Amino acid sequence: MAETLGWIGIGSMGHRMTRHLVKAGHNLVVADAVSTEKAPDGVKAAKSNAEVAALADTIILSLPDGTVSEKVAREIAAASPRKVKMVIDTSTIGIKAAEAVDAILTKAGITFVDAPVSGGTAGADKATLAIMLACPEDTYERLKPLMSLMGKPFHVGPKAGQGQAVKLLNNYLSATALAASSEAIAFGTKQGIDMQKILDIVNASTGRNTATEDKFPRRILNEKYDAGFTAKLQLKDIRLYLENAREAGISSEIAGTVVDVWTGLDKAIPGADITIMYPYTRDGRKKG
């Protein structure tokens, strides 16, 4: 029987990822500030994050933002009794927050691993997530079998925050591709060209990207608009990218424009799935 693991955050990603760990034979003790109802059958639902820290050697986090990750890290560090020796954060929280969480846990003698994931709910369901681990290489090698149960792990570097950097640049590229592809394909359809024909040609040409290869054929062409990731969360990630890009001193004009575009969608259609970017763009960015 595999070791007992702690998991905090049973949201849209967390409840999907935990299924693979349970299937592999791990005992799980879980907690969530809202509800643990979506947790897999057979897991132990803890009454608090401190209880998770008292029962598990390793805790994995799947939380909405850096503020929540820091709060949970403080609760784990303050727990008494406390069994936990390592915390792995799969959340997208930004570089500064990852460094802050690392400082909180390190002071308490707990190892922190910055390990954001990419691939959305579909990747979480299928265990095909890209998992970006920033930690010492020996820690990565030790965690690789565990993380491989949920997707494909990559060793980014030794420092907390480096995983966040790769996750943020990836999400920025993904958001840019969807926004730009929505403009381009709306232009094509306005010329009377069939969307499927446009996609066939683009995907055999140099303009192909994740939006044209995946989101348009599977989520937009059929008008399902069900990527399972909201414009609000997309905006959170690309704002973090822009903030960190400016701090790094690199050119960020394109990122600023992309943030403006996604801000417009989030304001016009609160709660919109990211794939609503296409009809929003096609219709002249009017309120839905």
> Over pLDDT 70: what percentage of the chain?
99
How many structural domains are present in the chain? 2
Q: Which of 280, 73, 69, 114 is nearest to 186 (CA)?
A: 280
Domain of 253, CATH number, reads: 1.10.1040.10
Structural domain for 61, as ranges:
4-157
Question: Which two tokens mark 258?
Answer: 């992309």
Is there a cis peptide before residue 81, judged by omega within 30 degrees of 0? yes
pLDDT digits (tens, 9 = 90+) for 170-226: 999 999 999 999 999 999 999 999 999 999 999 999 999 999 999 999 999 999 999
Whether residue 95 is found in the same domain as residue 169: no
Confidence at residue 288, expressed as pLDDT on a 0 to 100 scale = 58
Residue linked to tokens 């960015």: 285
Whether residue 138 is found in the same domain as residue 205: no
User: What is the rounded distance in angstroms from the CA atom of residue 92 to the CA atom of residue 274?
Assistant: 17
Whether residue 175 is found in the same domain as residue 130: no
- Whether 136 is in a domain gets the answer yes
- Whether 287 is in a domain gets the answer no
Final residue in a domain of this structure, among 103, 122, 157? 157
Whether residue 187 is found in the same domain as residue 271: yes
C-alpha dihedral sign at 67, 71, 73, 74? positive
Residue 4: which pLDDT band, with cuts at 50, 70 and 90? confident
- Whether 202 is in a domain gets the answer yes
